[in-house]
Structure 1
């Protein structure tokens, strides 16, 4: 997908959720945003984001002080002259920090369900969500709106394999999810740790990865060792040394993409690829990857 194509795909996410008919407020103002007092806007009850970077909020507040709010927020009208935020919470918070009294807003006539879906999709299209926030947002789309992984991928402009991999993060023990959310473990670390079979193994391995500041590649080697405890010291290294370097790199690449144990047995260009999985979510991740030819190249 080219860059312009991807931008169009991202834009489609929210467009598909907006009702085709203009709202009453839009009709009154000719489709132009309204300047709404900040004190009349209630925060979004459907917000899936749990953290906002204070320094980035301050930067946005400084920008708003200098040039104003460039992109209007989206709200829905409530009784009593109040409004409920749908999208644009960072702009709302930053405007308050900047001492603004009003903010440009587009009023939409949507149900609570539509508002919630718009909020989640808008969040997933942002680049600054941490992996666990993304995982929980996808899970909410699945549970509350009964969306398939393919439907979620279309709505958010993401690859289906990416959606599957984020959902798998919810299998991590709660303490390790917190480590991912705090940035102590990256998405790559977390996906590698999921190859282990029990929560206890994952938690123990994660603590060691953090303590030793392992890279993702080091974590992959460490996890492989845990998964093959019967191997004698040096046995894995000898097998890898005998393996064609291109085959070995392809094997590692598949393991990084899937977060699962992969073994390629190759003899003069013929052989087999063995992928081990421990549950339906793992199987879904495999199927999603196989359905997308570009997922490995983009890794």
Structure 2
């Protein structure tokens, strides 16, 4: 491996092999992996679904496209399974390839067999999915949440295992604080990750829900949502015309800087300025927000 590669690249490069050892001869009747490491052709019907799958839904149109590709050229990348009782296997990684193969009636599919406990299988599945780009924001957030709750991973450990930036991990975890109705809107694509980040600055669940409904009804962009949220956080800035300068004495440039900081950090920011001197106050509600803030400031 090139010595100049970054730690993040190394984390991604480890892939699935970094999580589990290659299978030895199992006690079950299932065949084992050859010493050369070549995958086996396993009957599709002998493979059971993965109960730890992170993806909540599969895009049927993309699945049909994948099925057409497999019908034409076969399965290019083997799936990963583990042996279970009665000569059967349980899927660990490669759900879409397995489903697509089933849909076109393929009898077998190339698969690499691994020995894995329930805990190892769960961890491997979650990490493998998080390294993909086709999970929606809430699926990613819940996957990180499971790693934190069920494996006691820190944000730093999650970042290392998935090759993601720690600040990104923290931002996805924050989505779990959204009311369930708002989470459903994000999952359905009605609200984007940017919309959700802007709404989280409100903190109060009822206010977030009210704001999310208004964003949906008015089809606000992310930037419009950010401005709307700032108006809710600082209602005094919405005063009419001649009263605005009295209520909000901040210099327009300072006010713009404050708003940019709030959009960037996703936290409430106050700037007290007097003739070019003053202080910046950043409010956080928990240690995760504090850790993320420190990391962002340290990186910059």
TM-score range, shorter chain: 0.7 to 0.9
Matched residue, 2:24: 23
Matched residue, 2:285: 278
Alignment of structure 1 residues 51-130 onto 2, 5 Å: 51-130=57-136
Residue 256 (structure 2) pairs with residue 256 (structure 1): no
Matched residue, 2:165: 159
Q: Is the 8 A contact 1:26 1:32 kept in 2?
A: no
Q: Larger Rg: 1 or 2?
A: 2
Question: In structure 2, do the counterparts of structure 1 residues 189 and 82 end up closer, same or farther at CA, with 3 Å as the change threshold?
Answer: same
Q: Is the 8 A contact 2:93 2:128 kept in 1?
A: yes
How many residue pairs are counted as aligned between the two chains? 287
Q: Is the 8 A contact 2:138 2:186 kept in 1?
A: yes
Matched residue, 1:205: 211
CA distance in 2, matches of 1:126, 1:213: 29
Q: Is the 8 A contact 1:161 1:292 kept in 2?
A: no
Matched residue, 2:28: none
**TM-score, structure 2 length as denominator?**
0.87
Alignment of structure 1 residues 5-16 onto 2, 5 Å: 8-16=10-18
Which of the residues 143, 150, 154 maps onto 2:156? 150
CA RMSD between the two structures: 2.5
Q: Deviations over 1:229-286 (max 9, x none)?
A: 2342353899699333xx6665444323321122445678765332122333432332
Q: Deviations over 1:205-236 (max 9, x none)?
A: 00000111101111111011111123423538
Q: Deviations over 1:156-175 (max 9, x none)?
A: 00011111111011110000
Question: In structure 2, do the counterparts of structure 1 residues 26 and 205 end up closer, same or farther at CA, with 3 Å as the change threshold?
Answer: same
CA distance in 2, matches of 1:85, 1:45: 9
Matched residue, 2:252: 243
CA distance in 1, matches of 2:291, 2:227: 24
Per-residue deviation at 1:111? 1.2
CA distance in 2, matches of 1:236, 1:64: 65
Q: Deviations over 1:7-31 (max 9, x none)?
A: 5432324332122x55336653521
Alignment of structure 1 residues 172-191 onto 2, 5 Å: 172-191=178-197
Unaligned runs of 5+ in 1: 294-299
Q: Deviations over 1:92-143 (max 9, x none)?
A: 0111122211100000011111110000001111111111100100000001
Q: Is the 8 A contact 1:165 1:258 kept in 2?
A: no
CA distance in 2, matches of 1:237, 1:117: 56
Give the SS at the match of 2:235: coil
Residue 56 (structure 2) pairs with residue 50 (structure 1): yes
Per-residue deviation at 1:80? 1.0
